[in-house]
Structure 1
Amino acid sequence: MSTSIEAPDAAARAGMPRALMLLVGAAAIVIVVAGLQVGAWLIAPILLALVVVIAVSPIQGWMRRRGLPGWSTVLALFLVIFGVILGLVWVLLASVGQLIALVPQYSGRISQITSSLSATLTRLGFDPAQARATASSADTSQILGAIGGVLSGLSGAVTSVVFILALLLFLIAEASGASRRLDAIGADRPHMVSALQGFAGGTRRYLVVTAIFGLIVAVLDTVALAIMGIPLVVLWGLLSFITNFIPNIGFIIGVIPPAFVALLVGGWQLALAVVVVYIILNAVVQSLIQPHFTGDAVGLSTTITFVALLFWAWILGPLGALLAIPATLLIKAILVDCDPSARWVEALIGANSPPGKEAKDSKRGRHAEDADADRASTDGPDTPDAPDTPGDVPAAPTPPRATPVT
């Protein structure tokens, strides 16, 4: 009977070859990735708004426990978030405006750098005309055009900011009923509830750790640039704070603008000094110290975070680089954490490898030996192990040894 029952299962499993299943799965992944790229304009703002709401949800819960009505908590959080975003936009626009006004003052310096670059290219064997054409691409008009392109990009980002603020308003209003929704989901899918709670907790820990290290790096960079006499130190400190949310390579993006300004102000020596300072401060903090804390906070290895950065930046654009870790945690919660049979993936992508069976057994044995030793030191030596002396009466009777019957 068991053979007849198992035969259809085996036939069903053998109905689709493993190679075909892998191809179908790969095709499905390609379709999903293509869909994410097409809908990046919508997915990225929604994910950003979700991350912001997760970050401020403890504050909303604290306000509600204080007895404040729901509408007041929603309004207060929305005004705080709106004020922070408005302040960041104002600082960025004001600083970029100062940068535009600063560049024409160094037009002579830019021409000198262009001539030096042309002479260097000619000495390296390039055609003089081609060298002059290459060097002329760095003139003042080109630089101002690039800055104008940045401003046009910022103006286009204002529309996204308005869309994100609208999403924040609705999500904050809906956050008060999240616990009831999770309870309803937990009645049928308890693993999904624990996975979503793990995603929210991991995202919150990641934001706290990254913000703390970003603030440290921003203060150090601002002080160092101010000592070296670089203009617009507030802008570069804010840029260091924002790029700290880009794993592994954020400091490379943050060092380019201040190094260029240092090149205009004090020549290549000052620009080299800025790069060295950023390498010492940012690279050490972001690439050596921070990943250990981030890995412990979110449970992802350094390699996975770097691959996630490249993947989400390719899918969602620049905003995907900032949201790489939260997006990876969300995918991990949906595909891995909610499925007990897929927990083995945690051993591949986790920050710390789980101990093997032998290590667990030996650790369990050590704990047992330690517990026995603690009991022995507390209760004193056992009576049967004490040496027998005439006249001693045992504290507890021990069973006699069995003797062979002849």
Structure 2
Amino acid sequence: MSTGEGFVVPPRPTRVPAAEAPKGPLASSMIVFAIIVAGLFLGREVLIPIAIAVLLSFVLGPLVNFLRRLRLGRAVAVLVSVLLAAGIIAALATVIGVQVAELAQDVPRYQRTIERKVEGLREGTLGRTMDYIANINRAIHQGGEENKEAAEKARREQAARDSTRKTEPEPPKPMLVQVEERRPSPLELATTVLSPVAQPLATAGIVIVVLLFILMQREDLRDRLIRLAGSSDLHRTTVAMDDAARRLSRYFLGQLALNSAFGVVIGVGLWIIGVPSPVLWGIFALVMRFVPYIGAFLSAVLPIALAAAVDPGWSMVVATFLLFAIVEPIVGQIIEPLVYGHSTGLSPFSVLVSALFWTWLWGPVGLLLSTPLTVCLVVLGRHVDRLEFLDVLFSNRPALTPIENFYQRMLADDPEEAQEHAELILQECSLSAYYDDVVLKGLELAARDAARGVLTPDQKDEIRASITALVEDLEDREDAVPDPDSKPGRLISAGAGEGESACKSDPIPRSDPDDLPAAWRADGAVILVSGRGFLDGAATAIADQLLRKRGFGTRQVPFAEVARVRIAEWNPGPAQAVCVISLALSGEPTHLRRLVARLRQKVDRVPVVAGLWRLDEPMLADDALRAKLGADDHVTSLRDLIETILALARQNGAPDVSGPRDAAAPPRQALPEPA
């Protein structure tokens, strides 16, 4: 059974509010889990019908709503829907019984066909090859003269025993006794016939009764679930429950319709090929496709074996194999994603584990119900805070956001994984948006950890080296939004809505480098000065790369070159703008204020822009604190930085550094000069 995305499980919907529960020790959690598993196992005779009824309620829910829109009463609509479903299931069961009985009558004929095929294989090339291999094996293991003597001795002993038996008198012949069985009474006959179907009929009866009550009391059951989940916000809770029920209903109905179509196509194809009982195998394919991954392939085994037993040749076997080999990939890889997305919202590992778990608990029925039951659990985990661990364990949504993934790869000193992660995100957003929304925010996490003192010097060096390697690998990539037709859809955008990108920033408008004034294209026109944070150099390298892609001549200046003891020796060159870039701020940015003041001594008439990316920094929201910094403009993203530099280049051209400072037009959002 193929699996795919987006239809079943909504990405990060509004959660049902729940009261905070204290986390108990691991032992108590394991005890609770063991009690639940024991209850599921011991109560399987009752819980299996209830689970089937719950799943059927999601399938029949839309039909009940449709009948109610036709102004039928709830009781009538529910009764008609359940009777219709029961009638369809009973008809299918009857067809299965009739077809199985017909197959049973032809088993001797099929057995003779198989025996002839096997005998033909033995007499053919395959048989001669096997005999040749057996002779070689016997020759290798044949003993020497000792084995021959032992064989001769055994032959003589056997001849002596045979002669002794001949001299002994023959034992009397046994008498033939015929035992006639007593003819069973009508009650015994009825018991023998009905006992195999008694349990399935009882289960079906329980399913129908429970299904009737679920459909009749649907609103009451929803209210009780709301009460259990937490009713502090009835609006959010009701919306979450209704959304979960609607999505599950759409998924199960879509899966049932798709699997039914698959069964019909298989049945018709087998009928055209000439395989006996095509209706039976179509129904079998329908049911087996609910089994994850291997169900469709298992449904092909018996029809192929039957084709081998019916046809004296091999053409029917090949045709049956091709039928399944062609139809299943088309349905699983093309039609199924169009019907309900690319997956069930479950990770492949969770599908496998759930199949093993439910099969161990409930047998073959558990195998059929494993994926639907796990989908229900994941939907609850996405809507109910207390069950969020189910979503983390079983869903195919990344457990970490793209920002956390990036930082984790930096901590792990795994630049190759970081590169693959970047390539995946860059399929749905531009390079500058990736830097803004993923890389810089990941560097901010690293800066926070460094400020808390949890990063060792070796880890800092590894993070710097990994980021440098990543920026170098992305040097040749164009900063443009990917073609929408080539985007594979939502990839790893954990936390984004369905179909949304992992990057939230708007793409930076593309510009022609030839439109820039010549002075801004010269080397060193835009000076990028790093702060003293251990990652400010990496952020500066990223800004340098994006500016160069737009035709600016840039120059990176580490903090050490403009320190107080070396500022007198520093030469700004043909600077048209100066950008001070810092990730880590703490309290009043004294060192940055002094850095800007030192730069003013060298480039007094050149605009100074401060790039600060700690969005929670109080200074960024306080005009007075920002004014103390002394910069002409402040930006909090790479997009703002590039737009600011572009605006300066287009408005000011090449500023006359020898003239008065107000000769140049004021930069965007210019702040007053510090006191």
TM-score normalized by structure 1? 0.69
Q: Are the equivalent residues in 1 in contact too, given 2:270–2:320 (CA < 8 A)?
A: no
CA contact (8 A) 1:217 1:240 kept: yes
Q: What is the SS of the residue equivalent to 2:303?
A: helix
Corresponding position of 2:274:
229
> Cα deviations across residues 365-387 of structure 1 (Å, max 9, x unaligned)?
965444999xxxxxxx9899646
Residues 113 and 363 (structure 1), Cα distance of their counterparts in 2 relative to 1, 3 Å cut: same
Q: How far apart are residue 50 of structure 1 and its match? A: 0.8
Do the aligned residues in 2 keep the contact of 1:195 with 1:337 (CA within 8 Å)? no
Q: Residues 43-70 of structure 1, C-alpha deviation per residue, up to 9 Å, x if partnerless?
A: 1111001110122112223333443222
SS at match of 2:79: helix
Equivalent position amino acid for 2:269 in 1 = A
Cα distance, 1:165 vs. partner?
1.7
**What amino acid is aligned across from residue 293 of structure 2 in structure 1?**
N
Contact 2:275–2:307 (CA under 8 A) maintained in structure 1: yes
Q: Which moved more, 1:108-117 or 1:78-87?
A: 108-117
Contact persistence 1:251–1:283 (CA under 8 A): yes
Matched, 1:187 2:231: yes
Shift of the 275–312 alpha-carbon distance from structure 1 to 2, 3 Å rule, reads: farther
Matched, 1:305 2:335: no
Q: Please, which of 405, 424, 436 is the counterpart of residue 362 of structure 1?
A: 436
Cα pair 1:247 1:286 within 8 Å, conserved:
no
Query: Which residue number corresponds to residue 284 of structure 1?
Result: 329
The answer as to 2:322 corresponding to 1:248 is no
List per-residue Cα deviations over 1:213-257 (Å, max 9, x = no partner).
Answer: 323432332233223211111111111111111111112331232
The range that moved more, 234-243 or 356-365, is 356-365
* Offset from partner CA, 1:346-371 (integer Å, 9 cap, x none): 35532242642267883499654449
Q: Which amino acid aligns with 1:346?
A: D
Distance 1:250 1:340 in 2: 34
Q: CA separation in 2, counterparts of 1:290 and 1:305?
A: 21
Unpaired segments of 5 or more residues in structure 2?
1-21, 135-191, 407-424, 426-433, 441-502, 511-645, 654-664
One of 61, 65, 78 as aligned partner of 2:65: 61
Say whether 1:266 aligns with 2:325.
Answer: no
| Backbone CA RMSD of aligned residues | 4.7
CA distance in 1: counterparts of 2:386 and 2:331, whole angstroms: 35
For the residue of structure 1 that corresponds to 2:311, the secondary structure is: helix
The CA distance in 2 between the partners of 1:183 and 1:343, in whole Å, is 16
Q: Is this contact kept in 2: 1:214–1:241, CA < 8 A?
A: yes
- Identify the residue that residue 162 of structure 1 maps to in structure 2: 205
- 8 A Cα contact 1:192 1:337, kept in partner: no
Contact 1:245–1:322 (8 Å) recurs in 2: yes
Structure with bigger gyration radius:
2
- Whole-angstrom distance in 2 between the partners of 1:346 and 1:306: 16
Any conservation in 1 of the 2:114–2:309 contact (CA below 8 Å)?
yes
Pair 1:239 & 2:284 matched = yes
Question: What is aligned with 2:39?
Answer: 35
Q: Using the TM superposition, name which of 200-209 and 92-101 deviates more.
A: 200-209
Between 360-369 and 52-61, report the one with greater CA deviation: 360-369
Aligned to 2:106: 102
**Aligned-partner Cα distance in 1 for 2:70–2:508:** 45
CA distance in 1 between counterparts of 2:435 and 2:649 reads 30
Alignment correspondent of 2:365: 319
Q: Deviations over 1:129-164 (max 9, x none)?
A: xxxxxxxxxxxxxxxxxxxx9x97556423322222
Between 1 and 2, higher relative CO (CA 8 Å, sep ≥ 6) is seen in: 1
Cα deviation, residue 193, structure 1: 5.5
The reply on whether 1:26 has 2:71 as its aligned counterpart is no
AA matched with 1:170: F
Distance 1:263 1:372, change over 3 A: closer
Contact 1:263 1:271 in 2 (8 A): yes
Q: TM-score, normalised by structure 2?
A: 0.44
Task: Give structure 1 stretches of 5+ with no counterpart.
Answer: 1-11, 126-148, 374-380, 389-393
Contact persistence 1:203–1:298 (CA under 8 A): no
The CA deviation at 1:75 is: 1.8
Contact 1:182 1:193 in 2 (8 A): no
Structure 1 residues 201 and 278, CA, compared in 2 at 3 Å: closer, same or farther? farther
Measure how far apart 1:265 and its partner are: 0.5
The answer to whether 1:44 aligns with 2:89 is no
Between 1:324-333 and 1:344-353, the stretch displaced more is 344-353
Q: How far did 1:71 drift?
A: 1.9
Counterpart residue identity of residue 354, structure 2: A
Q: Quick one: structure 1 residues 69 and 216, their matched pair in 2 at CA, closer, same or farther if it must change by over 3 Å?
A: closer
Q: Which amino acid aligns with 1:161?
A: A
Counterpart for residue 174 of structure 1: 217
Shift of 1:277: 2.3
**Corresponding residue number in structure 2 for 1:219:** 264
For the 8 Å contact 1:222–1:236, the answer to whether it is kept is: yes
Name the residue aligned to 1:139.
none
Deviates more, 1:52-61 or 1:169-178: 169-178
For 1:343 and 1:184, the matched residues in 2 are separated by: 17
Structure 2 CA distance for partners of 1:113 and 1:311, relative to 1, 3 Å? farther
Q: Give the partner amino acid of 2:273.
A: M
Which deviates the most, 54-63 or 192-201?
192-201
Give the count of matched residue pairs.
355
CA distance, structure 1, for counterparts of residue 111 and residue 649 of structure 2: 96
Q: CA deviation at 1:173?
A: 1.9
Tell whether 2:89 aligns with 1:85: yes
Structure 2 distance, partners of 1:201, 1:71, is 21
Counterpart residue identity of residue 265, structure 2 = L
SS at match of 1:323: helix
Percent identical among aligned pairs is 22
**Alpha-carbon distance in structure 2 between the residues aligned to 1:76 and 1:318:** 30
